[in-house]
Each structure stands twice: as structure tokens, then as C-alpha cells.
């Protein structure tokens, strides 16, 4: 099997609620995959299992052919999985550069010069080069999301998972973000949870639609856009996507 990441019959129940139910999911190396679905569909729960923050009720997860179902989150980071949270999780009382340096140190260890170089390069890449000395908590919300992305990139991930990265970004910032993700995808696989359908359609090679914890549809942006089942799922919940 050539998939970078695969799940089989992956499930998570919270006190009887089937948040994710028997999901078979394969990510190919180098692709940008969008994971979409109505609120409460199970998107965050699914990626939380992928990265090791939530233990599955049943099922398996393989990364590069290796069973990681029971591997702790930090060990998955070492294998090359990085992620940003739906809720911003920067260290508000540290400055911007120190936030990125913390992430870079996970990969580069105590080599200060290398950490400083990587920190500067990553801040430049996300457009925060002028903000290194600012307290993270003083950044605008949109810039905090970009800082989170920088923290993910500092780990030089093979797989970058982003949970609603454009939420709270201004239109101009979203355009820059799209370009940045295309850039990142040149040497990493990207899994993007996203409600902004403009971003999804512009970026995704393939789209997986989750509904009530199950895969409702999977295919090209054009195919998903045309799918009656997908439209019904969204209309059924009144989501604006």
C-alpha cells in the first residue's frame, strides 16, 4: 500500500455518541486533501485520532505503513506529523519568535544557530518576519493563526494537518494563505479541514466529505461540487458552505 496515512474502520464514541464511525481514509503522498462536512460531522475528532490526542474506540491508523494507532502524540510528531488546532493555541505571553523556536527545537534540539535560522526562515515564509518581537497574545487573531502555521512548518513535517486555518483571516490574508499552502505542498502532504469552500475548491486535489461521523463522499473538487448527496448534507444543516 502506497498511502502516506491510512485508517481502517476508525471509530470514536463519546458516551454512546458516534462522533466518527468506521472511517476508511487514505492520504496519498504529496496531495492536498480537504476534509469538509457540517458542524459536528466529526472532522476534528477524526484528525485528533490521527495525531494522537484522542484514543480511538476501535479501528487502526497507519503512517508510512507503520501501525501508529497507539503511538503517543509526541512520537507521531517525530515521525513527521504536525498540526494546528481549530482553537488557537499559541503561547500568548511569549514573543512570536520564541513560539516558533519552541517548535523548531522539537526537531533541531539544542543547536541554537540552526533554531534561530529556521525560526527566521519560517516567519518570513508565513509573512510574520516583522513581528518576531511582538507578544503572541498581542497579534491579531489572523496573525495568530499564521503563527500557528509557522509553528507547524518549523517541524518540517511530512504531513501537515490544519484545522480551519482560515477562520478569522481577512480576505487578503486568505489569498496569501492559499499561495503558502501550495508552497508547503511542494514537499509535504497537507490535510486541511476547511469551511471556506473557495479555499477548498482552489487548493484541494481531492475532497473527503464527512457527515454524521461517516465518509459521505470523496472525489475531485468538481465531482464533490456537483454531488447531490453533498449538497443535501449541507442544506440539511443549514451550513453556508
Ligand X SMILES: Nc1ncnc2c1ncn2[C@@H]1O[C@H](COP(=O)(O)OP(=O)(O)OP(=O)(O)O)[C@@H](O)[C@H]1O
- Only one of the segments 8-16, 42-50, 55-63, 97-105 lies at the binding site for Mg ion (rule: CB under 5 A); that segment is 42-50
Q: Which does 140 bind (CB under 5 to 8 A by kind): ligand X, Mg ion, none?
A: none
Q: Which does 141 bind (CB under 5 to 8 A by kind): Mg ion, ligand X, none?
A: none
Quote the CA–CA distance of 90 and 126 in Å, as a whole number. Answer: 15
CA-based torsion, 25, 30, 36, 39: positive or negative: positive
Residue closer to Mg ion (CB basis): 167 or 227: 167
- Give least dist CB 30 to ligand X, A: 25
Residue closer to Mg ion (CB basis): 164 or 218: 164
Give yes or no for a contact between 27 and 200, defined as CB atoms under 8 angstroms apart: no
> In which region does residue 203 sit, left (phi positive, over 0), alpha (psi from -120 to 50) or beta (all else)?
alpha
Quote the CA–CA distance of 196 and 179 in Å, as a whole number. Answer: 15
Query: Is 45 an interacting residue with respect to Mg ion (CB under 5 A)?
Result: no
- Give least dist CB 237 to ligand X, A: 10
* Cβ atoms < 10 Å from Cβ of 72: 11
5-14 sheet: strands from edge to edge: 17-27, 5-14, 58-63, 66-67
Q: Which does 80 bind (CB under 5 to 8 A by kind): ligand X, Mg ion, none?
A: none
Query: Closest residue (Cβ) to Mg ion?
Result: 44
Residue closer to ligand X (CB basis): 61 or 128: 61
- Where does this chain bind ligand X (CB under 6 A)? 14, 17, 19, 37, 39-45, 86
Bridge pairing between strands 81-84 and 5-14: unpaired
* Cβ atoms < 10 Å from Cβ of 120: 15
- Give least dist CB 14 to Mg ion, A: 14
Q: Which does 37 bind (CB under 5 to 8 A by kind): ligand X, Mg ion, none?
A: ligand X
Site for Mg ion (CB under 5 A): which residue of 44, 84, 99, 196? 44
Give yes or no for a contact between 233 and 36, defined as CB atoms under 8 angstroms apart: no
Positions touching Mg ion (CB under 5 A) are 43-44, 86
Amino acid at each position: 500500500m502506497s498511502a502516506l496515512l491510512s485508517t481502517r474502520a476508525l471509530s470514536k464514541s463519546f458516551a454512546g455518541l458516534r462522533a466518527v464511525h468506521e472511517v476508511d481514509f487514505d492520504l496519498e503522498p504529496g496531495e492536498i486533501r480537504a476534509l469538509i462536512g457540517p458542524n459536528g460531522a466529526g472532522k476534528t475528532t477524526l484528525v485528533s485520532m490521527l495525531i494522537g490526542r484522542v484514543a480511538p474506540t476501535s479501528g487502526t491508523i497507519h503512517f508510512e505503513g507503520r501501525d501508529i494507532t497507539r503511538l503517543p502524540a509526541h512520537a507521531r510528531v517525530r515521525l513527521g506529523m504536525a498540526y494546528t488546532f481549530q482553537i488557537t493555541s499559541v503561547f500568548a505571553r511569549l514573543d512570536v519568535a520564541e513560539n516558533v523556536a519552541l517548535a523548531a527545537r522539537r526537531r533541531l534540539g539544542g543547536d541554537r544557530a540552526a533554531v534561530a535560522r529556521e525560526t527566521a526562515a519560517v516567519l518570513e515564509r508565513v509573512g510574520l518576519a516583522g513581528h518576531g518581537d511582538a507578544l503572541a497574545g498581542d497579534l491579531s487573531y489572523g496573525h495568530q493563526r499564521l503563527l500557528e502555521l509557522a509553528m507547524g512548518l518549523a517541524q518540517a513535517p511530512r504531513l501537515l494537518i490544519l484545522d480551519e486555518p482560515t477562520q478569522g483571516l481577512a480576505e487578503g490574508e486568505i489569498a496569501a494563505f492559499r499561495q503558502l499552502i501550495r508552497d508547503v505542498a511542494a514537499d509535504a502532504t497537507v490535510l486541511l479541514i476547511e469551511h471556506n469552500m473557495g479555499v477548498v475548491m482552489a487548493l484541494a486535489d481531492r475532497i473527503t466529505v464527512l457527515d454524521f461521523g461517516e465518509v459521505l463522499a470523496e472525489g475531485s473538487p468538481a465531482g464533490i461540487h456537483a454531488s447531490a448527496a453533498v449538497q443535501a448534507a449541507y442544506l440539511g444543516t443549514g451550513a453556508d458552505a
